[in-house]
Every structure is written in structure tokens, then in C-alpha cells.
Structure 1
Amino acid sequence: MAPLKHLEMENSIIDECFRDFCASHGILTVEDFLLHDLYELAAFAEREANADRLKEGITVMLSLIELQCRPWLNGMELLEDLQRNKHTLSSGDNGMNSLLQGGYGEGQLTELVGPSSSGKTQFCMRAAASVAEKQEGSVFYIDTGNSFSARRIAQFICGGSDAAALRKRVLSRISCHTVYDIYTMFDTLQGLEVALRSQVQMNVNEYRLRLLVVDSISSTITPILGGSGSQGRALMVALGYMLKKLAHEHNIAVLVTNHTVGAGESGKTKPALGETWKSIPHVRLMLSRDNRNSNCTISILKHTSMPSGQTVRTITR
């Protein structure tokens, strides 16, 4: 990303004094700024004589980054992108595949929304098993809640005369990365992007990355939201567009999960992370589970090419 100086023309508060303060904490570029713990940076700013101006600079930086993260594409570019070699990846579940007319779209960010125990993690692991086995692609799985289970994924893999060898091959194509905060998330995704660019340059196609899973995205974003500050919101938007950029540039299907929160006194629930996040996913699906049996209802809340409101029931085990 660009050096901080490039932002000075857009706002004078990103001046030499602010940049020197950032540099003293190892922040030289916009990327360094996003990867840094901004609560820690704000605490250091409090100790300076010009604390108010420095904290204002941090807030302005986040606002500028949020604006610059939004991709600008005209209609012809969108059509050409749609006509490129875009495929759907089987979700591993017949009901989900039927609803989405094939599965999760490459180049798109699909969000699974639902309360606890609604099946979000199971759909993530089922998709990972399906892609690694049937599409023979690799899967990058980011686990934020210690919910990843290699044993559970192995159960989704088709058996046969050489079932043990097949499970070993499939599981070797799934790499799991444990992440507990948004700064580590940025660092992990940055490392992934570097690796993907290196593969492109070296023309490495064997078992190319087909699916990126983040279970759950809300676990890393919720702790930084709240209050009247804009830092958390800007970091959330930057993370969302970083995921969409990876999906678009490397033709990857990105699958994330999000929990639900109460929507007032009506007793209804709604997706967490608020209106700002709502615009980020290409596809948004709501999961609800009947606790009396294994039935799961999947509803389309948002889709780039399909009407919302469509539902399907499937059985999860």
C-alpha cells in the first residue's frame, strides 16, 4: 500500500508531525497502519502534547482508508468480470446447492448468518471437504472460535475401498489457521495474498486455492465496534473489502459466518455487524434450525442474481 505521505493531499492533518508519530511506532504505510493495534496507538497518542490532533489524525486516516477501499467499476467491467471463467463450487449439501443453483460462487463473498447451533460451522466444514475432494482444490480455513474439527471434516468425505488414503489426501489440501483478533486477521490475509501472487508469478496451478473460509467473521469484528468512534467501523469495512479483493483477483469463493442479535422487543433476530457490513457480502443466507430434529431452513437475504426470500429445507447431521 501507499506511504502515509500520499494521504496528505487529501487531508492536511496527515502532516509531517503525524507521520513522524506513526513512524516512531513502526508505521510507514497505510498497510502498516491497518495492521497496527489502533487502541494501543491511541493510548500512545494520549501521552503526547498534541494528543487531540494525533487522535484526530487516526480517525481521519480510517475514514480516508474506508473511502479508498471501495472498488469503482463501470457496467462493462462488471459484465466482463461476470463472463470470465467463473464457476460455482459445490457446498457439499444438496439443499444448499439447489437453492444457490450450484453452490458458492467463485469471485464472490458468501455470508452464512444464524444463531448459535444453527449449522454455520457444519456448512463451512462440509464445503471445505467438498472442495478439497471433488474440485481437487485447496482450502484456506480461518478459525476464530476453536470450532474446526478435522475428524468432522473426515466424516464428510466419501468412503470407498481406499477411504483412509482418500481422507489423508483431502485433509492435506485444507490448511487451518487460528485467529483471535482483527489485527492477526489482517496479518494472516496479507500473508495469503503474498503467497497467491507468488503462485501466479510462478504459474503454480496444482491444487490452487478455491475456497477461503472465515468462521466466524463477527468474532473478530464485534470487539472493535461500539461507542461513537469510527475506528472499528473503518477496520470492519477494510477487512470486508480485503476479502472481496482476494475473491475477485484470485477467483476464490469466500465463505464467512456471522451471528445474530436481537431486533428489539419483537423477539426477532437480525444479522450482527449492522448496516455498514450489510453492503459487503455478495450473497447473504440466513440459517435457522429446528431443535426438535435435524432440519435446517436456509433463506436468501441477499443475492446478486437471485430474488431474496427463497428458502429450502435440508437435513444436517
Structure 2
Amino acid sequence: MREGKQSDQCEPFAALTSSVAMPPLKDLEREFSEVDYNFQQFCASHGILSVEDFLVHDLNVLVAFAEQHPTSKELKQGITRILSIIDNHHQPWLNGMKLLEDALQNKHVLSTGCEGIDLLLQGGLREGQLTELVGPSSSGKTQICLEAASNVADKYMGAVMFLDTCNSFSPRRIACFLTRGVSPSSKEDKKRSLERVMSNIFIYSVFDIFALLGVLQQLECKWRSQVYTRDNQVKLLIIDSISSLITPILGGNGANGRSLMISAGLLLKKLAHEHSLSVLVTNHMVGGEGGALKPALGESWKSVPHVRILLSCDRGGNNLYYASLLKHPTVASGQAVRFMIEE
């Protein structure tokens, strides 16, 4: 599925105020006179080329340098303008009553098609929330994503966006999920069902964090420009795996990488909330101290998902898996289930 060029309403500053992706300073010059060529050159001399760079820069040091400059007044006005842009970018405070009304009236639960996961989540994936599946290789993360994609596209008649970061999407696996329990005599019905479901699943290949932010930006612009009904709305956004996009940028001191990671997480949560869709991402495990496994995205990411599920597999090779709840806004953590993924 390919997306065309963003519409005018999604150009630099509109994009800035509506998502976490932040443009180069030069793209703001036409909107704000303070961000002129002189200001851009001053910032560039300190390694600041975008609004996002301000988030990981020591502003006290920057202001000190600006005060030594012949045009210090104008430079400090530019710094103030960028800070105001960042401040306006944050979501407004919401009172508890509005959040409760939103949860009761607008957000629904989507079954994943996997009984064990649905049982653990008291029904399935909730619209408006970011759910994370974390676990080692072969723990069932991708299988659950594929089963959820097929079930939502089939049972809820809504579109599913599958952002594939490691060539994990398998049309044959989707077909297997759909044809379980279908009798041989209903081949024509099976074919029609498969065509309908497959036409509701859209796959993007995304191989780095910048491509991810770009795709999410395009999707948001498209969704904001369309009027949805419950029958044609995108209901599920899957990223398998988000950790493979983010871990390459977390090296060194990690400041810029962590900033991009949090930006991606906040944008996903914003999309989930504003467009009433469920977001499902996977996170692999890496070796920690003493050889113990830990989630690849570390402590900074831990607070981003609304829901975290730890997956593992039975080493007996009998298609038996385990899921335990690490975090959930309404269900007590620590609960666990055992389930099977059929071949």
C-alpha cells in the first residue's frame, strides 16, 4: 500500500503541531520570522538543525552563547519561539470525567482470536491503547500479531495496518487462521472470505525509525482528512517489530535515540486515542547482566505502552505458550495464562 504526497494541511508547521515528528528549522522560517537565516546558522554551529535537536540540547549553554553574539536579542527571541512551539506541541490536560466518558462511549475491545490472550486482557485489545508483546525469539509474538490481524479484518470489517519491519508478514499464515474449522465443501465461501479479509489488511515495509515516523505522519494526515464510519474505520495498527527499528539508534550516550524512541511512542498513543484504534507492537529480548534476558527497548520505553504482555514458549515443542501481564491500566499485573498456537 503506497501513500501519496501529503496534502497542504500537513505541511511543515501543521505537521509539527499535530504529531511528534519535528521538521528542520529551515521549514519553519516562512511561519516564524524569528527563525531566520541568521538564527538557523547560529543553531547549526551548535549542531542544532531541527526542533527535535532542542529536546536533547543544554538550553542554558545555548542561551549563554547567544548572549555573547552581536545579535543576542534576536537569537534569544528565536530560542523562545522554538520553546513555545515545543510547549504547544504537548497534549492538553484532560480531566478524569472526560477520560471516563471517552473510555465508556468511544473505545471498544477487539478480540485477537487467541483465547488465552483475550482471557488475559478481559476481552482483547482495547481501542485507544498501545499494547506491547515482549518476549524472546519464537515466543509467539508474530503469530499473535498475524492472528489478531486476520481476526479484526474478518470479524470487525475494519482495516488493519501492518507495518512490517523484518519481513514477518505471512499471507499463508493468515489464510491458515481463516480456514481453521472450514469444511472442504465450502471452498467457494473460503475463497470469498479470504479475499475479503486480505483486502482489509494493508502492509507497509518499514526498515528504520525515520521511515516509521514518516509513515505514521502520512497516516495521520490521511485520517484527519477523511470522515470515518464504524464500518470503514482503521481499527488495528500493528508494528512487528518496533524494537528492530529503535535499537540501532540507542547506541552511545543514547540521548538522540531515546528522544526518537519516545517521539514514536507518543505519536502511536496519540493516533490510538484520537482515531479510536488499537495499536499492537512487539519488542524482542536481549541479554542483560548475568546473561538474563530483558526487553530490548530498556527502562525509558517501559512507561510508554498502556499494556505489556510477556510471552514465552514451552521448550517441549508442543505449540504451548505462556503469557503474563506485566502492566495494564485496569487489570492486576502478574496474571498469567497458558495457550496454544495451532500450526
TM-score (norm 1): 0.81
In structure 2, the partner of 1:28 is 28
Residue 141 of structure 2: which of 120, 128, 150 is its match? 120
In structure 1, the partner of 2:212 is 185
Alignment of 1:145-164 (within 5 A): 145-158=166-179, 159=182, 161=186, 162-164=189-191
In structure 2, the partner of 1:300 is 325
In structure 2, the partner of 1:270 is 294
Change (3 A) 1:193 1:233: same
Mapped contact 2:127–2:276 kept (Cα < 8 A)? yes
Mapped contact 1:59–1:230 kept (Cα < 8 A)? no
CA distance in 1: counterparts of 2:103 and 2:333, whole angstroms: 20
2:285 counterpart of 1:260: yes
Bigger Rg, structure 1 or 2: 2
Mapped contact 1:66–1:237 kept (Cα < 8 A)? no
In structure 2, the partner of 1:211 is 236
In structure 1, the partner of 2:312 is 288
Q: After superposition, what is the alpha-carbon deviation per residue over 1:282-313, rounded to whole angstroms, capped at 9, x for unaligned?
A: 00000001132211000000000011100000
Mapped contact 1:62–1:235 kept (Cα < 8 A)? no
Mapped contact 1:115–1:288 kept (Cα < 8 A)? yes
Amino acid at match of 2:312: S
Deviates more, 1:61-70 or 1:296-305: 61-70
Change (3 A) 1:49 1:250: closer
In structure 2, the partner of 1:250 is 275
Mapped contact 1:110–1:284 kept (Cα < 8 A)? yes
CA distance in 2: counterparts of 1:187 and 1:269, whole angstroms: 31
Mapped contact 2:25–2:49 kept (Cα < 8 A)? no
CA distance in 1: counterparts of 2:214 and 2:270, whole angstroms: 15
Alignment of 1:195-210 (within 5 A): 195-200=222-227, 203-210=228-235
Change (3 A) 1:50 1:249: closer
2:123 counterpart of 1:102: yes
Residue 200 of structure 2: which of 142, 161, 173 is its match? 173
Change (3 A) 1:244 1:228: same
CA distance in 1: counterparts of 2:330 and 2:237, whole angstroms: 22
Q: CA deviation at 1:62?
A: 4.9
Q: CA deviation at 1:49?
A: 9.0
Q: CA deviation at 1:77?
A: 2.7
CA distance in 1: counterparts of 2:159 and 2:191, whole angstroms: 19
2:337 counterpart of 1:312: yes
Change (3 A) 1:59 1:194: closer
Secondary structure at the counterpart of residue 337 of structure 2: strand
Change (3 A) 1:234 1:70: farther
Between the aligned residues of both structures, percent identity stands at 51
Amino acid at match of 2:155: K
CA distance in 1: counterparts of 2:15 and 2:145, whole angstroms: 38
Q: After superposition, what is the alpha-carbon deviation per residue over 1:248-303, rounded to whole angstroms, capped at 9, x for unaligned?
A: 001001000001122311x4322121111111100000000113221100000000
Amino acid at match of 1:59: D
Amino acid at match of 2:209: I
Secondary structure at the counterpart of residue 305 of structure 2: coil
Secondary structure at the counterpart of residue 221 of structure 1: helix
Change (3 A) 1:313 1:238: same
Alignment of 1:14-93 (within 5 A): 22-23=25-26, 27-28=27-28, 52-55=45-48, 59-62=53-56, 68-69=89-90, 72-93=93-114
Change (3 A) 1:260 1:106: same
Amino acid at match of 1:28: L
Q: CA deviation at 1:199?
A: 2.1
Q: CA deviation at 1:207?
A: 2.7
CA distance in 2: counterparts of 1:78 and 1:148, whole angstroms: 35
Q: CA deviation at 1:218?
A: 0.5
Q: CA deviation at 1:84?
A: 2.0
Give structure 2 stretches of 5+ with no counterpart.
1-11, 18-22, 30-39, 58-82
Q: CA deviation at 1:3?
A: 7.9
- Counting matched residue pairs gives 281
In structure 2, the partner of 1:11 is none
